[in-house]
Structure 1
Amino acid sequence: MRIKELDVFRGFAALAVVLYHYTTMYNKMCNVSSSWELPYGWLGVPVFFILSGFVIYLTVDKSKSAIDFLKKRFIRLYPTYWLCLLITLCIEYFSGMFLADLTWKDILMNFTMFQQFFNLRHVDGAYWSLLPELLFYGLMAFLMKIKKVRSYYLYNAILLIIGIIHLVFPLPIIGKILSIHYILLFMIGIAFYRIYNKMNTKWDYVFIIFNYIVGTKLYFNAQEHHSISNVFSYFSLALIICLYYLFVKGCFSFLAKFRVLIFFGNISYALYLIHQNIGYIIINNLEDFTGRNMAMFIALGISVILASLITFQVEPRIKPIVKKLLYNNNN
């Protein structure tokens, strides 16, 4: 079941992240300045994390077991990821950019999505957010296995306690490896799912507030690549949470009319995976001829075309094959 309002959220977040990378992050990487900046485009990432927490319960509800849940997540993530990874590797190879910094161990481990867990380099910088997703899926599968997936207050309270302990006594295994700051953002999404489906009590709102307070403090403490230690950043994430609240209360039904953003929402996963290094390569090779702004829009256009082809032409052909292989092996 697709919720069009969430597709609009995805589309908006995807565009924000792409333009953030093509402007602010590219400028920092090349030590240049330009008339185009989107310094708060990174807020698209917490939008995605909260949204992932929301939609994961849709998958949980449709899964027969923890293994079935993990298979569904594998089919959703890995075929598209592998294709985008191969395309990125090919373009990096022929361009001569980025690949020189990678070892064969880095490249091979990237196919697992667990390279960050072993402190190895990413083939594309955008891949950093995949590990928190996988760890969250692992947590949900574990809770399904022990039949505690519905005990939201219990495991959210445990995660909050771990987060508070990490604030006082920082431990690398909790911060960098277990990504507790991201997991608390996922928990906000789960609470909103419960409210959306009228499964909640007043305690869900309490947990949203505490997840926000602890999660954002941990989130901002963990970030090093952009300037976020200011009141506006905290306010912005609070605003995102308010927007999700308005969504679950039915205030955003009109968003279903925004077909362009729904389109970007549909291609958001492939676009996120394909855009960063390929976009940097395109901008770097074209900006001297076309100007920086035109090079950026060409990079955006090529990334959107690639993501559209992957989403609408390749995925529908690959995923049924992967699904058949996974579920037939069960018989």
Structure 2
Amino acid sequence: MSQRRPVPRLAALDGLRLVAALMVVCYHYLALSRPWGHDPVTVFPTLHRFAEFGWLGVEVFFLVSGFVICMSVWGRSLGDFAVSRVSRLFPAYWVAVPLTALVVNKWPEITSIRGWDDVVVNLTMVQAGNNTRNVDDVYWTLFVELKFYVLMAIVVLCGVTYRNVLIFCGAWTVAAALAPSLGIPALAAFAMPQYAPYFIAGIAFYLMRRFGSNALLWGIVLFQLLLAQRYIHYRVAINLGHVAADQLPSWPVRLIVVAGFAVVGAIALGAFDKVQWQWLSTAGAITYPLYLIHMFIGMTLIHHFRHLLPAPVLVGSVIALMMATAWLIHRLVERPAGKWVRDAMKRGIEDVRLNSPARRRTRPRSPLPPAPEERRPLHGAGVH
């Protein structure tokens, strides 16, 4: 068996995360009327034209998530996967929810807290599942991510191999394609036809990274790119309104989607392996807390001070403040609390293992050879 090649950290993914986050930030600050009290086209006549497509940063996030989560489940047990996700998602979130609630309660100019019971339920991150109002509107993507993790947990239970992941991608594609016409709410809820193409394409890109590209994987990617076109009008209508969806040309949206696929594909093929700028690691680290806190807190600050500072200065200051706060959350909360949650969950899972009866293991009459994909050199193994 050939030796695994040492592979550098995919710093370009961290940079792409930051770009996607800033796209969403600019969309909320420059393209929506809520922080300004009127149409921001009068405030940013040129930037507004670009910022109104910033919501596509969410699609880029889902692409990257498919890549990263597939990478993270390889060689891990279900317990390990759960530990990694909970310790990664919840510490910053547990700070973002009450922080946002306090700011909005202090200055209820953009939105308001309907009740503190909602804030408490939001701490579970599953509030969308029981129709509880989100403390911040950006949290809707977290529930989409959680459903993706549930699907990936099924793959972990079945065994994470090249073959099983491909079967999973095929099954999910079929479910997502048929869900809208079958009229089964549970299937539509978990198949997520609007967003599945991005997750599945990200998974295929990681398989390229690990095992090398081939026609099958490229076929999966291209098929997902085509399926994603079905929901372009829907996504434009959700983010810009039905009038804009009918009047605006769709080609900029389609171009940005294609560009997102192209960049993640280039990362998968190693085109950016030499990009190892140290600051990209920090950029990737603050992306998640920045996403969590930027919307209602930032929009409230813009609305509150919009008559006191020039618009460009105000927006720049709020973005800088949000990034600095995100860095503080990462350093003071995510790092120590993430380690505590990780260690506590590991101890709990170990207790479960120690107090569960061991499964009987039967020896097969004739040992089976390893699956073909397990005999191949793992191109890209060891990337973190």
User: TM-score under structure 1 normalisation?
Assistant: 0.90
Deviation for aligned residue 1:200? 4.8
- In the aligned structure 2, how far is the partner of 1:277 from the partner of 1:163? 32
Q: CA 1:28–1:300 in structure 2 vs 1: closer, same or farther (change >3 Å)?
A: closer
Q: What's the secondary structure of 1:20's corresponding residue? A: helix
Q: CA 1:148–1:267 in structure 2 vs 1: closer, same or farther (change >3 Å)?
A: closer
Equivalent in the alignment of 2:367: none
Post-superposition CA distance 1:92-130 (Å, at most 9, x none): 222234563523443222111111222221101111100
* Correspondence 1:302 to 2:339: no
Post-superposition CA distance 1:192-230 (Å, at most 9, x none): 001111255321111111112113423643551224571
* Correspondence 1:268 to 2:262: no
Post-superposition CA distance 1:119-176 (Å, at most 9, x none): 2211011111001110011111112113366412322222222222235456554445
- In the aligned structure 1, how far is the partner of 2:112 from the partner of 2:262? 44
Alignment of 1:169-248 (within 5 A): 172-175=185-188, 178-218=191-231, 220-221=233-234, 224-226=238-240, 227=244, 230-248=250-268
* Correspondence 1:146 to 2:166: no
Deviation for aligned residue 1:252? 2.3
* Correspondence 1:20 to 2:32: no
- In the aligned structure 1, how far is the partner of 2:38 from the partner of 2:184? 33
Q: CA 1:290–1:317 in structure 2 vs 1: closer, same or farther (change >3 Å)?
A: same
- In the aligned structure 1, how far is the partner of 2:152 from the partner of 2:238? 28
- What amino acid is the match of 1:94? K
Work out which of the residue numbers 97, 119, 133 in structure 2 matches 1:107.
119
Deviation for aligned residue 1:297? 1.4
Number of aligned residue pairs: give it: 329
What fraction of aligned residue pairs are identical, expressed as a percent? 26
Equivalent in the alignment of 1:45: 58
Deviation for aligned residue 1:52? 0.6
Q: Which 10-residue stretch deviates more, 233-242 or 100-109?
A: 100-109
Alignment of 1:37-186 (within 5 A): 37=48, 38-63=51-76, 65-97=77-109, 100-147=112-159, 150=162, 151-168=164-181, 172-175=185-188, 178-186=191-199
Q: What's the secondary structure of 1:143's corresponding residue? A: helix
Q: CA 1:299–1:28 in structure 2 vs 1: closer, same or farther (change >3 Å)?
A: closer
Structure 1: gaps spanning 5 or more residues: none
Q: CA 1:228–1:271 in structure 2 vs 1: closer, same or farther (change >3 Å)?
A: farther
- In the aligned structure 2, how far is the partner of 1:29 from the partner of 1:120? 27
| 8 A contact 1:132–1:183 mirrored in 2 | no
- In the aligned structure 1, how far is the partner of 2:140 from the partner of 2:259? 25
Deviation for aligned residue 1:20? 1.2
| 8 A contact 1:159–1:180 mirrored in 2 | no
Give 1 or 2: higher helix fraction: 1
| 8 A contact 2:28–2:295 mirrored in 1 | yes
- What amino acid is the match of 2:252? F
Deviation for aligned residue 1:315? 1.7
- What amino acid is the match of 1:322? V
Q: CA 1:147–1:228 in structure 2 vs 1: closer, same or farther (change >3 Å)?
A: farther
- In the aligned structure 1, how far is the partner of 2:181 from the partner of 2:258? 23
Structure 2: gaps spanning 5 or more residues: 1-7, 352-384
Q: CA 1:2–1:126 in structure 2 vs 1: closer, same or farther (change >3 Å)?
A: farther
Q: CA 1:125–1:235 in structure 2 vs 1: closer, same or farther (change >3 Å)?
A: same
Structure of larger gyration radius: 2
- In the aligned structure 2, how far is the partner of 1:107 from the partner of 1:231? 39
Deviation for aligned residue 1:238? 1.2
- In the aligned structure 2, how far is the partner of 1:324 from the partner of 1:22? 38
After TM superposition, which residue ranges in structure 1, 4 or more long, deviate above 6 angstroms?
none
